[in-house]
Amino acid sequence: MSAVHAAAPEPPAGEEARGPEPSFEEATRRLSQIVAELEGGDLPLDRSLALFEEGVRLARAAEERLDRAERRVEELLGIDAQGKPVVKDFEG
């Protein structure tokens, strides 16, 4: 009796399977590595493009994390009409 295994679905064209979103620190560390590798200039075009795409994804993820942190700080520093701090539940 042979078992038939269904192949995992392929991600849409131009998108690779992604794991969990990296932390801000992980993203910036990897971005530094990507920049150093791209600045070396000794890469084939396909590898350069793949690194560039990874870098764009990481930069967007890091920017989103910064935006969320900024919104949270603004919420924590907010003051209502009576001069009391405005604090909301953190969605993270």
88: which 2 tokens? 């909301």
Closest CA to 85 of 69, 74, 70, 77: 77
In order of their start, the domains of the chain are 24-77 (1.10.287)
As a whole number of angstroms, the distance between CA 48 and CA 42 comes to: 9
82: which 2 tokens? 């009576």
Structural element, H or E, at residue 67: helix 45-77
Q: Which residue has the tokens 């590898």?
A: 47
Supply the mean pLDDT for the chain: 79
**2 — pLDDT class (breaks 50, 70, 90):** very low
- Check whether 56 has a pLDDT greater than 80: yes
